[in-house]
Structure 1
Amino acid sequence: MGLNAKDLRKGLDALARIEPAFASGLAAFGYPDTRISAPGHVSLLRTIVGQQVSTASANAIYGRLEALIGPEMDPAKLAATPDEDLRAVGLSRQKISYVKSLAGLIASGELDLAHLPADDEEAIAQLTKIKGIGRWSAEIYLLFAEGRPDIWPAGDLAVQIEIGHLLGQEERPAEKLVRSLSEAWRPHRGALAIFAWHHYGRRLSAKGADKAPI
């Protein structure tokens, strides 16, 4: 489950030896806290419920859904729940299709979250079979729930911004460039992503900003 503190620190120390800019960033803002989610379909379900709504709204909807289905969110029961019951807890028509896609894949055994492929790209391909789970959501799951050390969400805006800032680039680098640059940072890119979010948030806080992604 997630990168533990020891592995996170070990990865960042290795990156600091590779890239002086990362060493400077660590000196300025220190090591990030660990970021860990429970593996399994409930984490993915929470991701779906939380899409494009506030945290408070997501928690309220999830609470009503949990009261309807049960705390374990049994996939077979969820897949068989009438759409009108799911609408009553606050899910949109689109999210109902996403929820049922996840539940159906798990209940049928077509998607086995306990035995995802060891290859990261193959695992991402498996997860993105779920409606509503794109590459970014799949990467976040593999990083925070499985602790895969080399997951690199190059499409994440904050990652792009902070990698550009750390490397002294005048403009935010595009995803393609961020992905290309990251080849030198294998196999510790997961730790670097967590650090990029941490550095971004601390830097904005130092400027008086009150909100950072993730």
Structure 2
Amino acid sequence: MSGQLPTGEVQLADQETFEQALDALLALDPRLVPLVAEAGRPTLRRREPDFAGLTAVVVAQQLSVAAARAISARLHTALGGAPTVDSLLAATPEALRAAGLSAPKIRTLTGIARALEAGEVDLAHVTDMEADAAAAYLTRLPGIGLWTADIYLLFCLGRSDAFPHGDLALQVAAGDAFGLPGRATAMGLAAIAEDWRPYRGVAAQVLWAYYGARRARTGVPT
């Protein structure tokens, strides 16, 4: 399998690599096979890496997909291209608000850009770090929690073992899939996911697809 990382993870660089990782995951835990049978094989989702990708993750927090895309497009226009540390810091608060960013997100993105500019965190440093350690390192950035860090690692860097165990949809999907009395707790889901290393991020995409398929079938908005 191509894209092997020093930590034993796989870099999910393309759909072919993702398919290979998914096959390896299903061999590790056959309990996931019925989920894939019901929801289908997920399609790899990737975003831009580095500061531009992290910006996209922050922008998308607590927004619909459509709203996040619209704001990201306006932000790219306001900054003259994909966000960079320099272009974000050079933009006025008025320009960022006009793009659709809320005051808290402006503070978060400005704080992140300043921390990166000062060298307090190096986004390239996470490449050689184990997924959980990489997520913890990224939380040194202002306004970045573990969920955001894991989403960045999974979708922007293609880290196969990044796993946002605090994600509500994953907790609900795990509860449904494994016959729990309710949704899994964050700690419970993290414990379950230990069986999926180094493909926890692939399992997350299986669970998201399963969550969406079940709710679509029952008429519940996803």
Shorter-normalised TM-score: what interval? Answer: 0.7 to 0.9
Determine which of 170, 175, 178 is the counterpart of 1:164. Answer: 175
* CA distance in 2 between partners of 1:57 and 1:174 (Å): 29
Note the aligned Cα RMSD (angstroms).
Answer: 2.3
- Is the contact between residue 74 and residue 99 of structure 2 (CA under 8 Å) also seen in structure 1? yes
1:147 is aligned to: 158
CA distance 1:55–1:13, shift in 2 (3 Å): closer
Letter matched to residue 106 of structure 2:
I
Q: Which of residues 47, 67, 86 is equivalent to 2:57? A: 47
Aligned residues: 211
1:138 to 126, 135, 149: 149
Structure 1: gaps spanning 5 or more residues: none
Residue 8 in structure 1 maps to residue 18 in structure 2: yes
Comparing 180-189 with 123-132, which one deviates more in the overlay?
A: 123-132
Normalised to the residue count of structure 1, the TM-score between the two structures is: 0.85
Deviation (angstroms), 1:41: 0.8
Gap change, CA 1:34 and 1:121, over 3 Å in 2 = same
Contact 2:29 2:195 survives alignment (8 Å): no
Query: What is the CA–CA distance in structure 1 between the aligned matches of 2:156 and 2:100, rounded to whole Å?
Result: 26
1:201 corresponding residue in structure 2: 212
The aligned residue for residue 93 of structure 2 is 83
Establish whether residue 100 from structure 1 lines up as the match of residue 110 from structure 2: yes
Rate the CA distance shift 1:101–1:169 in 2: closer, same or farther, 3 A: same
**1:56 CA drift (Å):** 4.1
DSSP-derived class of the 2:140 partner: coil
> Partner residue of 1:67?
77
Check whether the contact 1:3–1:149 (CA below 8 A) recurs between aligned residues.
no
Query: Residues 188 and 73 from structure 1, CA distance in 2 versus in 1: closer, same or farther, beyond 3 angstroms?
Result: closer
Q: Percent identity?
A: 37
TM-score, normalising length from structure 2?
0.83
Paired residue type of 2:49: P
Unmatched runs of 5 consecutive residues or more in structure 2: 1-10
Are residue 175 (structure 1) and residue 186 (structure 2) matched? Answer: yes
CA 1:2–1:10: 2 relative to 1, 3 Å: closer
